[in-house]
Amino acid sequence: MKTLRAHPLHLFAGPLLWAIWYVVLYSGQALGCETAPPPANAGVWTWLNGLLLLHTLVFAVVLLYLTWLAHRSTPAESGNGRFILKVSTGVYLVATIAVLAIGLQSVIYPPCV
Amino acid sequence: MTEQEALHQRFNKVWRNLPGWGTLAAVNHTSVGRRFMLTGAIFFLIGGLLALLIRMQLALPGQEFLNPDVYSQVFTMHGTVMMFLFAIPILEGAAIYLIPKMIGARDLIFPRLGALGYYCYLFGGIIVISSLLLGMAPSSGWFMYTPLSSTEFSPGPGSDFWLLGITFVEISSVSAGIELVVAILRSRTPGMTLSKMPIFCWYILVTALMIVFGFPPLILASILLELERAAGMPFFDVAAGGDPVLWQHLFWLFGHPEVYIIFLPAAGIVSTILPVFTGRPLVGYRWVVMAVILTGFISFGLWAHHMFTVGIPQLAQAFFSMASMLVAIPTAIQVFAWLATLWAGRVVYSLPMLWVFGFLFVFVLGGLTGVMLAMVPFNWQVHDTHFVVAHLHYVLVGGMLFPLIGGLYYWLPHFSGRMPSERLGRWGFGLVFVGFNATFFLMHLTGLLGMPRRVDTYETGFGWDWLNMLSSVGSFVIAMGVAIIIIDVLLHFRFGRKAGNNPWNADTLEWTTGTPPTMYNFASLPEINSRHPLWDNPELLQSIPAGEHGLTQIEHGRRETFGTDAITGKLKEVMLLPTNSWLPLLVASSLAVVCISLLTRSYLAAVVITIVAAIFLFRWSWENGGHPLAAPLGDKEPVEAPLQSRTLDGSGLWGMVITLLADGALFLALLFGWLYLWAVAPNWTLPDESLVSLPVMAWSGAFLTFATWWYCRAVKQLKAGDDTGLQTRFWVVTAAGAIHLVLLVGVTLVSPLAITELAHDAVLLVMLMFLIFHSSISVIATALQALRVRYGYVSKELPYEPVVLQPLWLFSLATFWCSVASFLLLPIAWGAA
């Protein structure tokens, strides 16, 4: 059974993944609109929205998996290790929520209007 | 004389400041922290006086008390002083003062860096304030939007004062950030694992990392704007391929995290005070740690909510709007943890707690209007109105000033050994609380009624008159409250009753350092196995000063503290801490002259003094490790653990890595600027072929690659315990690095860059200067290492320094090839496609 080692990197890995996802999301949207903007009347079902949504779902799945791994690995640890994994579980979970809450905007708004 | 007094005298002899003017050479964190806080308090009073001038002007419609130009200078300086010269430095000062005492260390790890930071702050602040006295203060608002702050619309030196002075101050912020991160991670007393750190340390750790990543974009933006103003390099000029909105992105990439950089330490104060006055541990320590980490990250994803009206597409606005709402989650976690602690404990309504209650009330209101402002349609409606001014004051004054004054009253007995007056303190709180809400709650209404911010006057008849009058009255009530607090603090030094060692029955280690504290903090360094050491082991109050714990040797005359593992808190080494030194003052003074030379456009003088500053800095680096003034081999080595200059993983390596993170953030901001202008600026033009010779860059890169590889090999050999031929290896690296540098400088000089006509070429020059700067430091530092091997300061017994320098070579190499790929090859590839 795969488990996580109680490394302090996990305290920051969730938000770090969120940050990378966010930079790619924002810059991808901006570059997409600069280079090949979908027509304004196309609504939300455009290639750009689809790409942003796919990007969001990939990161959300990865973060959710890490949340589950961290949660599952916690009982095996004690003391400092337990502390690190418990905090990391929460951090991964909120990072997942943040990815979904922000990224799902791409099914509501057209990309370049 | 008792044994304890004798021990104190021996420690004091090593740790005390020099007498008289010599105190300016003090580097220990207690002195530096106090100076930061005192200077910050003075700037607060200056900023407050400016605020009163603003309110006097706006008290009645049609006032001519201040003319429009002076009014613009006053509101710009009010914001600038409060944000850059008061809020951040005073909190950094508090952290510098408290962190070593809380983690059981005798000093911060880089004391001279702290002293340098203080003098940079002081001199930078004086330069900025002097513009006001000279009547040429900046007048474009504290966020200095281009093109208003550019030469065309601000032709005087006001913007230059801001850009140069504030950049100078930011050196101080970043240096404090670096030393706080390393101190918290590497100098906790043995046994203090991450999970047993005082909660305040978590707040400061995250804040310091935010400073490390958040300030470089503004430093870069300031450099670019100053280059535009002084040398005509058109980064923000649309006609030449620049874009003024780039400034807004770079500024708010710093500016929004800054709000949390200010809030988090203050929230840390609240999380420290609350358990003491409720008599129980903080509810949800783990939840609060999680919330602090999340706040640190998410706050970097909100910057564009300051730019909702500049024409960003709806989808992007929705991203930032949602992120702005999300940041309320970790903030709310903290608020609920505080409320739960209050609920579960037995509250003692002492003075510090009054300010905590005031904080909770005001900050929650500010947070709620923050969520309102995160909504794009509402944001559009109230953009640039007094509603925004009210919101930011509720967040910043509520979120920072209230906890800060609560912290002042809490730690006042620690500073002075005496207690404040409860009666005067309550009057001070009451007046500030009532005055604050009178001033700023009404400002929400003024804003909703449409009054724009930053107007110097207004006509009667809009319904703003009585609101403005009451706001102005409120501001003077705040001033009365602040005056009473100042009187209370001043009087308590003489009339306050003696505090004793731990007057509030606090749980953290700073209360064992004495009230007022000794210069060395702890005569002995204890093993800590609890999150609340003084509650679980109250006899530490006696046993630490009695020298019953570790590292009590002082006969060698060195300043030392324990170095421990970043995670487990296990003892790893003994860290040597520098003693009093004039070098920080000399370096900061030189940099201040450079700053003034640039202001007066005396560029030759600026170059000469920069070289002088560099000489001081390299001299600074010389007195380390095995140098006779530091810790030469065989000089009474400590018994508990080796001195860190005899190890491979000392604090210097950590300091270098954290510094390079800041450096990397600046490089990424430059890369962002390049890509942003390329993608967005309407007149951006790419040349058909590279203006910088690619073959020469390739040769330069080849030499850099060889130098880095050879350096890494030398370090690997040293780590394996072999120092044969080390000096020769370092000279070879120096020579290869020098050839790389000569080629790089040469290609920069001969490239036909039209730096005053095209933003593209101007950015290329900045990129080349960035590479030259880093390669120069790498080469000179390696040459010094070679010399140090020759003098016997570096060897297999003293392997510390080459290991510290290795990341710099790797960074120089990485940024070089990344620059070649992004700035030179990518445009060619794009053009071909």
Residue-wise pLDDT for B555-593, tens only, equals 889 999 999 999 999 999 999 999 999 999 999 999 999
A81 in a domain, yes or no?
yes
B600 in a domain, yes or no?
no
A68 in a domain, yes or no?
yes
| Chain B residues whose beta carbon lies within 8 Å of the beta carbon of residue A87 | 286, 289-290, 293
What would the pLDDT profile of A57-81 be if each residue is shown by its tens digit? 999 999 999 999 999 999 888 888 9
What would the pLDDT profile of B694-703 be if each residue is shown by its tens digit? 999 999 999 9
Predicted confidence (pLDDT) at residue A105 exceeds the cutoff of 90:
yes
End-of-domain residue from the set B499, B534, B552: B499
Q: Which residue spans within B569-645 are E strands per DSSP?
A: 571-577
Predicted confidence (pLDDT) at residue B688 exceeds the cutoff of 90:
no
The enclosing H or E element of A8 equals: none
Mean predicted confidence (pLDDT) in B372-401: 95
Predicted confidence (pLDDT) at residue B207 exceeds the cutoff of 70:
yes
Quickly state the pLDDT bin for A5 (edges 50, 70, 90).
confident
Q: Please indicate if any CB of chain A lies within 8 Å of the CB of B293.
A: yes
A85 in a domain, yes or no?
yes
B823 in a domain, yes or no?
yes
pLDDT (0 to 100) of residue B689: 83
pLDDT (0 to 100) of residue B113: 95
At B699, list the tokens.
């040769």
At B56, list the tokens.
């006097």
What would the pLDDT profile of A30-46 be if each residue is shown by its tens digit? 999 988 999 988 889 99
The enclosing H or E element of B598 equals: helix B583-599
- Kindly determine whether residue A91 and residue B313, on different chains, have CB atoms separated by under 8 Å: no
Backbone angles phi, psi at B525, to 5 degrees: -100, 120
At B240, list the tokens.
């030449």
End-of-domain residue from the set B479, B499, B519: B499
Q: Please indicate if any CB of chain B lies within 8 Å of the CB of A69.
A: no
A3 in a domain, yes or no?
no
Q: Please indicate if any CB of chain A lies within 8 Å of the CB of B668.
A: no
Q: Which residue, among B351, B499, B483, B354, has the nearest Cα to B415 in the 3D structure?
A: B499
Residue A70 lies in domain: 10-36+45-107
Q: Which residue, among B148, B136, B137, B212, has the nearest Cα to B180 in the 3D structure?
A: B212
Quickly state the pLDDT bin for B496 (edges 50, 70, 90).
very high
Structure-derived torsion over alpha carbons of residues B407, B409, B413, B415, reported in degrees to the nearest 10: 60
* Residues B486/B455, Cβ–Cβ less than 8 Å: no
Quickly state the pLDDT bin for B633 (edges 50, 70, 90).
confident
Residues in chain A: 113
Mean predicted confidence (pLDDT) in B707-712: 98
Q: How many domains does chain A have?
A: 1
pLDDT (0 to 100) of residue B750: 96
Q: What is the CATH number of the domain that holds B778?
A: 1.20.120.80
Q: Please indicate if any CB of chain A lies within 8 Å of the CB of B310.
A: no
B734 in a domain, yes or no?
yes
The enclosing H or E element of B563 equals: strand B559-564
B309 in a domain, yes or no?
no
Question: What share of chain B in percent tops pLDDT 70?
Answer: 100
Q: How many domains does chain B have?
A: 2
The enclosing H or E element of A104 equals: none
* A87 CA: distance to closest CA in chain B (Å): 6
B735 in a domain, yes or no?
yes
Backbone angles phi, psi at A18, to 5 degrees: -60, -45
Residues β-bridged to residue B552: none
A79 in a domain, yes or no?
yes
Quickly state the pLDDT bin for B427 (edges 50, 70, 90).
very high
B377 in a domain, yes or no?
yes
Q: For chain A, how are helix, strand and coil distributed in percent, rounded to 5?
A: 80, 0, 20
Predicted confidence (pLDDT) at residue B655 exceeds the cutoff of 70:
yes
Residues in chain B: 833
CA distance readout (Å), B268 to B152, B229, B399? 44, 40, 11
Q: Which residue of A has its CA nearest to B295?
A: A15
Residue B360 lies in domain: 349-499
Cα–Cα distance between B412 and B516 in angstroms, integer? 9
Cα–Cα distance between B723 and B721 in angstroms, integer? 7
* A53 CA: distance to closest CA in chain B (Å): 12
Nearest to B313 among A12, A33, A80 (CB): A33
Quickly state the pLDDT bin for B833 (edges 50, 70, 90).
low
- Sign of the C-alpha dihedral, residues B14, B15, B16, B18? positive
A66 in a domain, yes or no?
yes
- Kindly determine whether residue A111 and residue B286, on different chains, have CB atoms separated by under 8 Å: no
Cα–Cα distance between A112 and A30 in angstroms, integer? 8
* B820 CA: distance to closest CA in chain A (Å): 21
At B89, list the tokens.
């430095």
Cα–Cα distance between B15 and B32 in angstroms, integer? 14
pLDDT (0 to 100) of residue B186: 96
Predicted confidence (pLDDT) at residue B832 exceeds the cutoff of 80:
no
Quickly state the pLDDT bin for B224 (edges 50, 70, 90).
very high
B797 in a domain, yes or no?
yes
Q: Which residue of A has its CA nearest to B319?
A: A102
Nearest to B568 among A15, A80, A110 (CB): A80
Q: Which residue, among B714, B594, B710, B663, has the nearest Cα to B818 in the 3D structure?
A: B663
pLDDT (0 to 100) of residue B634: 76
Residue B525 DSSP label: B
Interface of A with B in 31-50 (CB under 8 A): 31, 33-34, 49
Quickly state the pLDDT bin for B454 (edges 50, 70, 90).
very high
Mean predicted confidence (pLDDT) in B656-683: 95
What would the pLDDT profile of B59-112 be if each residue is shown by its tens digit? 999 999 999 999 999 999 999 999 999 999 999 999 999 999 999 999 999 999
Helices (H) and strands (E) in chain B, counts: 27, 2
Predicted confidence (pLDDT) at residue B26 exceeds the cutoff of 80:
yes
Cα–Cα distance between B196 and B183 in angstroms, integer? 16
